[in-house]
Chains A and B, each alone.
Chain A
Amino acid sequence: METKLNQIVIAAETAIKGAQSIHELMNLKSEYIGKKSEVMNVMKTLGSLSPEERPAVGKIINIAKQKIEALIDEKENDLKEKEYLKTLQDSKLDMGMPGYAIQYGSLHPLTIVWREIEDIFISMGFDIAEGYDIEDEFHNFDALNTPEDHPSRNLADTFYIKDDVLLRTQTSTVQIRTMEKYQPPIKIISPGRCYRNDRPDASHSPAFHQVEALVVDENITFQDLRDTLNTFVKKMFGSHMKSRFRPHFFPFTEPSAEIDISCVNCGGKGCAICKNSGWLEMGGAGMVDPNVLNKLGIDAEKYSGFAFGLGIDRITILKYNIPGLRILYENDIRFLKQFTFNN
């Protein structure tokens, strides 16, 4: 019987080694050690043996069965490994093919810069104040100390809706409305769209965007104005940027100044954009005229303030090196696409 079992084991070994698939292997498993296999048939004869013989014979049968089981397990692992390697092989693909195209649009560059300006000022503790595009003459001119006969009030400069209703020419109107409504401390910027009766060209547009800042509180000084502007310029254009003030005249502020910043193109060395001066004009600034405060019911002895205004369109074309304003309002997708990942 031992010989018979040995023969079975040898036959099983040959068959198992030759198996090509898991399926085939499982068939062999039932053939050699399954319920109806020869090994199991031998096992069934155990009952006819004497109790003394049984353990020794049983042991021999078990050893044969275990041998076959071990051979099957080993083969099974081999086959699984082969299958695994094959799936690796099959999964090879051309990773150069494009990934799913998630099309992202873009914000308009003016919006991008607009938001950046807002966020810089928000981080400096400013609130955002918004107002009307269509304003009355009082908030656009009178309250800002603009003389009755000032040329900016002309039809040639300002769009009118009615005699005393117009399209705001600056967002200072929002500052006036804020001061009408709130007592100091006031710390706002008012970004928004403004209008002037200019024919569109590379540097003019009848509608444009401006941000004005207003701070009114106790102990606000010219130093605060300069520091705030400097901080803004550095955060907006880089820490190497400088700003400087040139005396100027605005009816709304006293003292008044025009703001220059280092040329964003050459960094101050001088180039065509800055006409070799190293500086670019950025906007106007000054300490709020005490008359303006008093007229709005804010005690100009107790409080002082500063204000400045900057052109968002101008900052945008400087920042992105865009040649002129016109393209900003063409809304050409090929232009807009360039700003896709810039917000």
Chain B
Amino acid sequence: MRISYKWLKEYLDIDLSVEELKDKLTFSGIEVEAVHQSNELLDYIFIAEIKEKRNHPNSDHLSICQVFDGNETVQVVCGAPNCEQGQKIAFARVGTQIGDIVIKRTKLRGEESYGMICSERELGISENHEGILVLDNDAPIGKPLSRYLDIADTVFDVEITPNRADLLGMIGVARDLSAQLDLDMQYPLLKDYNRSDLGKYPVEIVEPELCTRYIANVIEGVTVTESPEWIKQCLIAGGIKPINNIVDITNYVTLEYGHPLHAFDKSFVEGGKIIIRKAHKGEKFPALDHNTYELNGNELVIADSVKPIALAGVIGGLNSHIQNSTVDIVLEAACFNPSQIRRTSSEKKIFTDSSYRFERGCSDKVAETVAQRAVDLILTICGGKLTQTNDIYPNPLDEIIVILRPSRVTKLLTLSLANSELISYLTGLGLELVKEDNDALSFKIPSWRKDLTREIDLIEEIIRLHGYNSIESKPEKHEITNKTSFYLRRKVQDFLVSQGFYEVLNLSFSDPAYFDLLSLQEDDYRRAAIEIMNPQGQASSIMRSTLLPGLLKNAVYNYNHGQENIKLFELNKVFFKSEKKLGTEKWVASAILSGNIGPIHWKNKTESVNFFYLKGIVESVLALFPLNKFQIEPCTEPFYQENLAAQIVVGKKVIGTFGKFDKKIADKFEFEKDIYGFEIDFTQCLEYQNKKGIIFTEIPKLQSVSRDISFIISKEHSVQKIVADIIQCNPKLIKEVIPFDEFTGKQIQSGFRSLSLNILIVPETKSLTDDYINGLINNIIDKLKSKYHIEMR
């Protein structure tokens, strides 16, 4: 539905900005789909005067006008029959754009023309294109038309929810706003007629279930002509085309109250009687849309003694409509059953402003009001005399009373409003307070709010008007869980389990003798263990500062119990003396591995645990955080075998070590087989975590290219550096370099090895030619040759 801001102001003294009003509507449940500013064009059309008019020498219907627009007098050729000397008119200067057309200096049948005198349709004011728009004589020459014609308006396209038929009229929307904003509603004043001396116009309701009320008023002696400007403007704003004053008034009142009306030309109502009945099967009905419908007997029709003259509530008939010749009219204001209207409208595929409203339900009471309002307007605007009337209302509806308990409002909404506020909101909506007890307010529900039947409905109205977002928030529960640490610990545990590790839990106590068994230096950080004052024995006299001795003990225990293949991990706390009173606690993830990587299988041969398996596990754990800027370099962890120990470094900080336990150390723990281990500082890893998260990157559209190179190189050089150097050759294209083979042997000079690398090239913007790729590979080879003295194989 379209709501004109200007029209709204007829009922409500509001002065909100368009944005504010849009918000008020939206947050009281009237969704604004679009906002239109009416007619900016009128800022560029100026009021001018026709100083002189003479006939065009070469045309019968054109005239030549001298137009003064406040600045200058120009010649304009005009085709309108109604243009006369001395008129104030709307003038578009050369250069003005109207719709798609730019007004140009032109020659019409040999006469120069410098501009255009506009019609109402050209200005978008109305559909009128009969002649030019003639303004009143007091119109100020030279001013923009928008300043003079008070038609600047904003129209809101709103969506009305199906439960709120009352909002399908301007008054309904105004009333809702009045309740929300606590403003007084100014309803249209209705005249009081003495109807007692009027004749009774015959009306018969054959279907009282389908037509609950029918009011007919006969007005005789009207003059059918164009509507006054203000009515036309309202209709255009509301999206309805003006036709003639009678029809326009019925439409105007429809838009005003949301309750449709219809007017018949009385002279076509045969038999002088209106009958509301079901259609006869096979009956033909010529509708206002110029279609003739064959009726099947299910439709409700308004009929005279002979024929249907309207499809009740849906569309009027071409056999009884108001024409310029019409003198006497019968004005209908009625109430029809919504499902009946919906069925007929969808069966016949006729969707009108009337059917749209009736199928959402209407009020018997409002029917009376709109009848009155339309009569007032017709008598004022179209003249004539009210001569006959009738109001058939077989079964007046009972009053509905709903009781609201303020305590219930508080309980449901956590909102304490004074009774006076509650009453103000609800009476603003048209409810009538009939009784006020301590915790019980009784309201009479107005006929147009059939959706309000229970207390909860009233509570909804209160919070809707008060504002859903005005409810204060409860104090928030604090975010206490350290989610990152909590879930990452689980992730690391789960990953290791998925790789075949068993989790162990050892007590937190340890034996200081382990430090010597592990050959830790005197100043090793792990020796700064916290001692217990009253330990149960030397073996549990300190809090552990590394999980590895416990894990080694577990390995020994399990090996002695027949387990050849051992993969155990623990993710737990370690403790260190520090300047803090309570010392320092850290989480570490540690593991030991011995025997086979996986179980034996007849087809899939397993390997023994080795350095690179261990390294893969460690790298994967680090990837879980994720931790992507780490280096792995050789180290001298005293308990790992020389050349088989590595440390993980971020910046300059060592965050973990891994390697193969030195044979002598393993012996000291009484473990006789090869055994590997790692210990990662989980707490420290959290600090270096890459917190960027995942952001989608475009999938490469171009085919990637993969090339292999093999060469012999001195063992001195680490593949890490070689890979980095290769990528450096063209970091934009080279996405990955993967070593896929390495060997030494008889064919290869001692101290050297053969390396094979797979280079993945992903073009970014255009496909690469073979020549280009070969060039790139050659560059790489040249670089490796000069830097590492490689020899290609």
Contact = CB atoms under 8 A, between A and B. Distances in A.
Contacts of A186: 477-478, 480
Nearest to B567: A105
Contact of B598 (A101, A165, A167, A184): A101
Contacts of A128: 480-482, 486
Given A100-B601, A127-B477, A178-B480, A133 B575 contact: yes
Interface in A125-139: 125, 127-130, 132-136
Contacts of A103: 500, 598-599
Contact of B557 (A108, A199, A330): A330
B582 A136 contact: yes
Interface stretch (B147-155, B352-360, B532-540): B532-540
A178 B481 CA distance: 11
A134 B582 contact: yes
Contacts of B498: 104-105
Given A155-B533, A333-B558, A108 B503 contact: yes
B478, B585, B598: which has the most chain A beta carbons within 10 Å?
B478
B601 A136 contact: no
A132, A161, A330: which has the most chain B beta carbons within 10 Å?
A161
A111 B598 contact: no
A98 B500 contact: no
A28 interface: no
Contacts of B532: 159-161, 167
Contact of A162 (B485, B533, B567): B533
Interface in A190-227: 193, 195, 197, 199, 205-207
Interface in B253-283: none
A159 B535 contact: yes
A182 interface: yes
B540 A329 contact: no
Contacts of A197: 534, 536
Contact of A105 (B503, B530, B575): B503
Contact of B497 (A104, A155, A184, A187): A104
Interface residues of A, number: 56
B475 interface: yes
B410 to A, nearest CB: 15
A130 to B, nearest CB: 7
B533 A107 contact: no
B566 interface: yes
Interface string B488-507: 00100110111111111111
Nearest to A118: B486
Contacts of A206: 507, 509, 536, 540
Contacts of A334: 561, 563
Nearest to B558: A333
B581 interface: yes
Contacts of A324: none
A339 to B, nearest CB: 9
B536 A199 contact: yes
Contacts of A100: 601, 603-604
A258 B563 CA distance: 43
Contacts of A182: 478, 480
A186 B481 CA distance: 12
B505 A188 contact: no
B480 A106 contact: no
A129 B481 contact: yes
Contacts of B506: 329, 331
Contacts of A167: 532, 543
A115, A130, A334: which has the most chain B beta carbons within 10 Å?
A130
Interface in A313-343: 328-334, 336-337, 343
A276 to B, nearest CB: 33
Interface string B450-492: 0000000000000000000000001111111110011000100
A95 interface: no
A20 B534 CA distance: 91
A115 B603 CA distance: 37
Contact of B602 (A97, A135, A184, A205): A97
A9 interface: no
B554 interface: yes
What is the predominant secondary structure among interface residues of chain A facing chain B?
loop
Contacts of B485: 130
B582 A108 contact: no
A136 to B, nearest CB: 7
A104 B497 CA distance: 6
A127 B478 contact: yes
A34 interface: no
Nearest to A163: B533
Contacts of B585: 132-134
Nearest to A103: B500
What is the predominant secondary structure among interface residues of chain B facing chain A?
loop
Contact of A331 (B482, B536, B568): B568
A110 interface: yes
B497 A107 contact: yes
A133 B584 CA distance: 10
Interface in B566-583: 566-568, 573, 575, 581-583
B503 A111 contact: yes
B508 interface: yes
A161 B497 contact: no
Interface string A81-117: 0000000000000000110111111111011000100
A185 interface: yes
Given A105-B499, A205-B507, A127 B480 contact: yes
Contacts of A107: 493-494, 497, 503
A127 B583 CA distance: 26
A10 to B, nearest CB: 53
A78 B509 CA distance: 77
Interface string B390-406: 00000000000000000
B84 interface: no
B736 interface: no
A134 B499 CA distance: 33
B31 interface: no
A186 to B, nearest CB: 7
B500 A329 contact: no
A221 B344 CA distance: 61
Contacts of B477: 125, 127, 185-187
B505 A331 contact: yes
Contacts of A343: 494, 497
B671 to A, nearest CB: 15
B531 interface: yes
Contact of B543 (A110, A134, A135, A136): A134
Nearest to B554: A331
B699 to A, nearest CB: 30
Contacts of B567: 105
Contacts of B602: 97-98
Given A108-B503, A134-B543, A155 B534 contact: yes
A125 B540 CA distance: 39
Contacts of A162: 533
A133 B493 contact: no
Contact of B507 (A98, A106, A125, A329): A329
Nearest to B600: A101
Contact of A106 (B497, B561, B566): B497
B505 A108 contact: yes
B477, B494, B506, B540: which has the most chain A beta carbons within 10 Å?
B477
| Pairs of residues from A and B, 4 with the lowest C-beta to C-beta distance, nearest first | A331-B504, A103-B500, A127-B480, A101-B599
18 contacts: A102-B598, A103-B599, A104-B498, A105-B501, A107-B497, A132-B582, A133-B543, A134-B583, A136-B581, A160-B533, A167-B532, A185-B475, A186-B480, A193-B573, A195-B508, A197-B534, A331-B505, A334-B561
Interface of B: 474-482, 485-486, 490, 493-494, 496-509, 530-536, 540, 543, 554, 557-558, 561, 563, 566-568, 573, 575, 581-583, 585, 598-604
Interface of A: 97-98, 100-108, 110-111, 115, 125, 127-130, 132-136, 155, 159-162, 165, 167, 178, 182-188, 193, 195, 197, 199, 205-207, 328-334, 336-337, 343
